Structure 1
Amino acid sequence: MVGRAARENRCKGTNFLDFLRILRQESNEDVCDECIARLPDELRDALRYGAIVRGGWYPIRWYGALHTTARLTGAPQGFARTVGRISTIDDLSGGIYSSFLRIVSPGFLISGAARLFNRYYELGTMDVLESRRGFVRVGCRGCVGFDANIWQDVLGGCEGGLQAARAHDLRIRLVTGGDDGDEHASIEAYFSEQ
């Protein structure tokens, strides 16, 4: 796009609010308070004064800053992935989804999750590239502004979705991309089904 500035990616407010709830659960209130205190001013004030709402859209760089600051203030090792896993399981365990999960296969659930990717991230897509019993491979592209922490969050979300759909003996990994500045990633998961 010559002559036009690239559009900044945004993510949903639910990402921020779930992140802080899970940080409190997985560490403690002091770590969460320290994390908020050390955030960039604009983000810190938005969180402290309730300006971030579940359905709102906020800069992806804010979400990256939240992840980075949490790591620096005592979040447990692997926390980015934990956030994605727990928030996805929580999202899927309520209401109509809980009944749905009893009848769908893990691979089918991931194909649905790929369609829901843009409920959480404004730019970028997730596509199921291959799916068969006990295996799924997804590709993400156009994920402007993602860093390694956000990719780990996405990986954890895939893991949580598969676990919610009763996948066992789960092995999941980034195959390509998924690092700081990467706008793409390929994720593979191997699992057994009940």
Structure 2
Amino acid sequence: MRENRCKGTNIHNLLRVLRQEGGKAREEECIGRLPDDFRKAVQYGAVVRGGWYPIHWYRTLHATAQAVGMGPGFPRTVGKISATEDLSGGIYSVFLRVVSPAFIISGAARLFNRYYELGTMDIVESRPGYVQAKFHECYGFDHNIWQDMLGGSEGALVAARASDVRVRIVEGGGDGDDHATFEAYYREGRRDSVP
């Protein structure tokens, strides 16, 4: 079986959040510690947002960010900040003012494969204030990537004006797991509020 790949957007977002949260020096230290092929691709601009890259690069980037001091909670922070900022800016901000979290959830499965080449996401249950999603065949994921996705799920709900968001993994989602089940509890936010 071929290795899974992720979009360059994931790599760019992680580096952006690393720079925001840890500073330029920590970002440079992280990049400097990457394996040669990956380091050169980042330094010379060969990693483009729309390109596909080996999932092991993303695993390595997460692990290296933690090794330079970002800590074990960093992957979830990356996911949450990336999703919130990506969805709260530009045309999306206008769109999110008129849709509900349930509408965002209904489209989540389609969005999943814009970021990861292999794997599927199914919404198992969705009702006001609750959603459960199952991920299958997510080859090459590790604990850090699952935590990144958990944070992204939280960030997407926050961007859709949900409040009191609590997201957790109820099954799978560890090192070497190609599957996970997430559940989220939230309250519907006001449509006229500012994120």
TM-score, normalized by length of structure 2? 0.94
Equivalent residue, structure 2, for 1:127: 122
CA RMSD of aligned residues (A): 1.0
**Deviation of residue 124 (structure 1)?**
0.4
**Deviation of residue 96 (structure 1)?**
2.7
Tell me the distance in 1 between the aligned counterparts of 2:89 and 2:174.
32
Tell me the distance in 1 between the aligned counterparts of 2:86 and 2:121.
18
Pick one of 82, 102, 120 that aligns with 1:87.
82
Structure 1 segments (4+ residues) deviating >6 Å: none
Aligned letter for 1:61? H
Aligned letter for 1:138? A
**Deviation of residue 17 (structure 1)?**
0.9
Aligned letter for 1:181? G
Q: Is the 8 A contact 1:60 1:145 kept in 2?
A: yes
Tell me the distance in 2 between the aligned counterparts of 1:135 and 1:97.
23
Pick one of 1, 8, 23 that aligns with 2:3.
8
Equivalent residue runs for 1:1-194 within 5 Å? 6-194=1-189
Tell me the distance in 1 between the aligned counterparts of 2:23 and 2:90.
29
**Deviation of residue 76 (structure 1)?**
4.3
Aligned letter for 2:151? G
* Deviation by residue 1:70-103 (Cα, 9 ceiling, x = unmatched): 0011114411011111111122122332122112
Tell me the distance in 2 between the aligned counterparts of 1:23 and 1:43.
17
Tell me the distance in 2 between the aligned counterparts of 1:140 and 1:111.
15
Aligned letter for 1:145? G
SS at match of 2:70: coil
Tell me the distance in 2 between the aligned counterparts of 1:21 and 1:31.
11
SS at match of 2:69: coil
Equivalent residue, structure 2, for 1:3: none
SS at match of 2:123: strand
**Deviation of residue 107 (structure 1)?**
2.2
**Number of residue pairs the alignment of both structures matches:** 189
Gaps of 5+ in 1: 1-5
Tell me the distance in 2 between the aligned counterparts of 1:95 and 1:110.
20
TM-score, normalized by length of structure 1? 0.94
Gaps of 5+ in 2: 190-195
Tell me the distance in 2 between the aligned counterparts of 1:23 and 1:76.
11
**Deviation of residue 15 (structure 1)?**
0.7
Tell me the distance in 1 between the aligned counterparts of 2:50 and 2:155.
21
